Amino acid sequence: MNTVPVTLQNSYKKAGENNPLYTQRFGADPGVMEYDGRLYVYMTDDILEYDTKGKVKENSYSQIRTINCISSDDMVNWTDHGRIRVAGPGGVAKWANNSWAPCAAHKTIDGQEKFFLYFCNGGNGIGVLSADSPVGPWRDERGSLLITRGVKNCADVTWLFDPAVMVDEDGTGYLAFGGGVPEGKWAAPGTARIVRLGEDMISLAGDPVRLDVPWLFEDSGINKIGDKYFYTYCSNFQTKGNNLKLTDGAIQYMISDNPLGPYTYMGELFPNEGHFFGMYGNNHHSIASLNGEWFLFYHNRPVEKAMGVTGNYRSPQADKIFFGEDGLPKQVKGTMKGLDQLKPLNPFRIVSAATMSRQAGITVEGANGQSWINGETGSWLQVSGVDFGTGTSSLEVTAMAPTDCTLYAVLDDPEGPVISQVRIELPGDVKPAAFRAPIQAEGVHDLYLITDGVMKLYSWQVK
């Protein structure tokens, strides 16, 4: 067959690179949760701000009231679950002003698996939402902040934000938080806290404990790796000449035999992202494991750079953590290549159209596990490592469009020969409908789906 008869839009992500994780929106401060063989990444939804002349200005974070959620079981193809509306009149927690730096956990309570999403209401408190699924719908069961300055040992925390949550093997939940540097206390800010959560995960089971964290800035992390508890954090920007040899704005780690501490400083896990990519800024991370492998999630600014704007608008990235024979992590190197694909994607099941490794011109709508993509002329998505097995006969898509258009399928190179073309015709404009076309493919390939017109694509599969 011939090649696609439209000019392809340009992607903000380079071919052969798995970082950033996605490019259809920004996403900062990744908080990661493993559940049922998938990693779910929850992120601050950085939103472009403009001055009176229409020029992009520095991110003030004041307009952020939603949280982004993506997930993957192969670490390369990420399903975009859409925006979670958290704060403000249109949000679940209408009393909240902002939704920054989320983290999430799940726990079995009274025989039912429940999910909890913690977020910062600006720099002065931490809220929590709950759900029966990792993608919602979310509820505000508590109806107020979980952590406030009225909580014991929290009144003097400079920045009451950046939660990190962990559920221990015995089912006990812990929440670490805090940050900021009181005047002149760069070496020992004293603003990190950790607290035991109640059985319901939306209350406290004790008073927050102060952690002695050297050169703290922000960004708490809490994990159990082996038989040790790891507290991780971002160092501040006045570390020059310190005796621990840590550097500015870098992810540090400490270990303990008890989740409440005390913790002992061990070393630097990840230098500031500017060390690798040339764009320095705040460093915010999360550590998570899947199938026995450990990964560091962080943010960087490659999409901002590709767009030609400047303003600290951030995107999520991930690289693998390797451990030495002593059981301690080696320093992580930030790369644009990112993670290797853990397993091929199965196209014989229904695949959400919002699952992709790379895209151009695509936007995603929806929430609560129901999401779809909007495409326009020349827009496309890439799904990496698709295993077509011994062969296929048909490609079926669920879609709708205001006027007739075509979805083209191409393997391995978006400018390669078309192997299938699905005609999307009215009355698909009324509601999503199924459309199909022949396709012949076998073995493992990257799949490109390309549109020559405006359409909404919900899902696809081969048979």
Whether the bond into 262 is cis, omega within 30 of 0:
yes
Report the Cα–Cα distance between both ends of the chain, in Å, rounded.
20
Which residues does the chain have with pLDDT short of 70?
Answer: 1
The token pair at 113 is 């698996």
- Measured between alpha carbons, how far is 30 from 19 in angstroms, rounded to an integer? 14
What is the reported pLDDT for 423? 97
Asked if 112 contacts 131 with a C-beta cutoff of 8 angstroms, the reply is no
- Triad 446, 134, 431: Cα angle to 5°: 65
* Residues assigned a catalytic role: 29, 218
Q: In 3-state terms, what secondary structure has residue 70?
A: strand
Please give the Cα distance from 419 to 416 (Å, whole number).
Answer: 9
d(CA 247, CA 234): 10
Q: Which of 152, 139, 51 is nearest to 91 (CA)?
A: 139
Q: What's this model's pTM, rounded to 2 decimal places? A: 0.98
Q: What is the pLDDT of residue 1?
A: 67
Spatial CA neighbour of 57 closest among 380, 304, 337, 386: 304
pLDDT digits (tens, 9 = 90+) for 113-127: 999 999 999 999 999
Closest of 151, 109, 107, 108 to residue 126, by C-alpha:
151
Query: What pairs with residue 422 in β-bridges?
Result: 407
Beta-bridge partner residues of 320: 295
The DSSP output letter for 155 is T
Round to whole Å and give the CA distance between 385 and 48.
Answer: 33
Q: What per-residue confidence (pLDDT) applies to 368?
A: 81
